[in-house]
Amino acid sequence: MKNVDLSTTAVRELNQALHEQAKQLTEREWAVTHPAGQHNIAAGVDEALKIDIHGHAGYYCAGMNKKADVTIHGNVGVGVAENMMSGVVRVKGSASQSAGATAHGGLLVIEGDAGARCGISMKGVDIVVRGDAGHMSCFLGQAGRFVVCGDVGENLGDSLYEVHIYVKGKVKSLGSDCIEKEMRPEHLQELTELLARASVEEDPKAFRRYGSARQLYNFKVDNAHAY
């Protein structure tokens, strides 16, 4: 295991070393200590590395992640796993706003609470929040699955497209074009598999499903064959 102490090594040096692994893999497992809330830690990784960050991280931690398995043993600032393409990012604490923003793939697990706009404009990522999520979560969500085991703030799923939303707790209000939908057997199976992947023990039958009413589209999806 490669150990990097950010009290003596610059984040830029760490990230450069991580990026080099995509060209020539020399170390699969990395331990990062004393992050002290610094920004952009482990951003842009493009190799199947296992990275443990021991402490709190700042903005855009694990942003643009591809393939790597990143665990933050603390809280994170704005935009954790922003624009993630694949891999797994797990936050042992809570996350500030815009977690998983614009992410195209992979799995983001937040074991604490998530701030406002969690999953904003998500494009295929799976997000599981064990605690609560803030207002405007899943705003403009396009694709993927969004799961909250606690409560959600105002305007959930505002102007969303085809994200599957599952919430166990209370929803303060739904955003434009977001409605509650029937939880069919295929959705229970989907949620069961996703919770298992996230290592979250919850009863899928306790969740409610939400999604788009499809009234804000420029075309009616049911008539897509006619266009």
User: 149 is written with which tokens?
Assistant: 């085991």
Q: Does position 89 have pLDDT exceeding 60, yes or no?
A: yes
Chain position carrying tokens 């999953």 = 119
Nearest to 169 by CA among 159, 178, 156: 156
Domains contained in the chain, CATH given: 2-217 (2.160.20.60)
pLDDT digits (tens, 9 = 90+) for 15-72: 999 999 999 999 999 999 999 999 999 999 999 999 999 999 999 999 999 999 999 9
Run of H or E residues at 191: helix 185-197
Query: Distance (Å, rounded) from C-alpha 92 to C-alpha 189?
Result: 26
Cα 165 vs. chain centroid, distance in angstroms? 13
Query: Distance (Å, rounded) from C-alpha 200 to C-alpha 9?
Result: 35
Nearest to 40 by CA among 7, 63, 74: 63
- pLDDT number for residue 148: 98
Query: Distance (Å, rounded) from C-alpha 53 to C-alpha 57?
Result: 8
Q: Does position 151 have pLDDT exceeding 60, yes or no?
A: yes
Query: Distance (Å, rounded) from C-alpha 14 to C-alpha 173?
Result: 42
Does the pTM exceed 0.85?
Answer: yes
Query: How many other C-beta atoms are found inside a 10 Å radius of the C-beta of residue 215?
Result: 9
Length of the chain: 227
Confidence of residue 223 (pLDDT cuts 50, 70, 90): low
> What are the backbone dihedrals phi and psi of residue 153, each rounded to the nearest 5 degrees, phi first?
-75, -160
Per the CB < 8 A criterion, the answer to whether 11 and 40 are in contact is: yes
- pLDDT number for residue 221: 62
Query: Distance (Å, rounded) from C-alpha 204 to C-alpha 187?
Result: 9
Confidence of residue 218 (pLDDT cuts 50, 70, 90): low
- Which residues, 6 or more positions from 147, have their beta carbon under 8 angstroms from its beta carbon? 126, 127, 128, 129, 165, 166, 167, 191, 194, 195, 198, 207
